[in-house]
Amino acid sequence: MPARPTRPPVSFGLDRLATPIGIALLVTDAAGALRALDWEDYEHRMRELLRLHYGVVELNDQPAPAAMRTALSGYFDGDLGQLSGIAWRIAGTPFQQKVWNALAQIPAGTTMSYGALAARIDTPRAIRAVGHANGSNPISVVLPCHRLIGADGSLVKYGGGLARKRWLLRHEGVAV
């Protein structure tokens, strides 16, 4: 049986940034775009998401671009508009990408239900699929999955833990 061709590993840089809610892991590509942002205590999950999206991934200690670190620090210091200046790239299914791009359009200080997001992307019956794609979002905070809430206004699921979701929403001025 002929051997299957294997893709070479994808190489990304890995940096760490102290925030008020824990150490953020910043994964960037050679062009300086953010490919993943997760929390140090969820590093295993982040690595698994990277594997699912890119195949074999090598993470090498490398500082994230200074402008990215400054923007993220600015966000955590209260300048919520800083996130829009961060360059990012995503890999995923077309549906996941549609959901993730829609997340980027939810303004800071607001929330949206999973159903409302499903309707916004013209798939009103795909509420569970939106939830699943949201849970697979590799770029937390910047693609603000924390802004999705239950239809009844409850805080439901956040890959970084509900305490972080609550902190992020309060930080953005949402009463939770």
Return all residues near 24 (Cβ < 8 A) that are at least 6 apart.
Answer: 16, 17, 18, 37, 38, 39, 40, 72, 141
Alpha carbons 46 and 130: distance in angstroms, whole number: 19
Torsion angle in degrees (nearest 10) through CA of 59, 64, 68, 69? 110
The residues annotated as belonging to the active site are 145
Q: Taking the alpha carbons of 133, 135, 138, 139 in that order, is the dihedral positive or negative? A: positive
Distance of CA 23 to the CA centre of its chain: 15
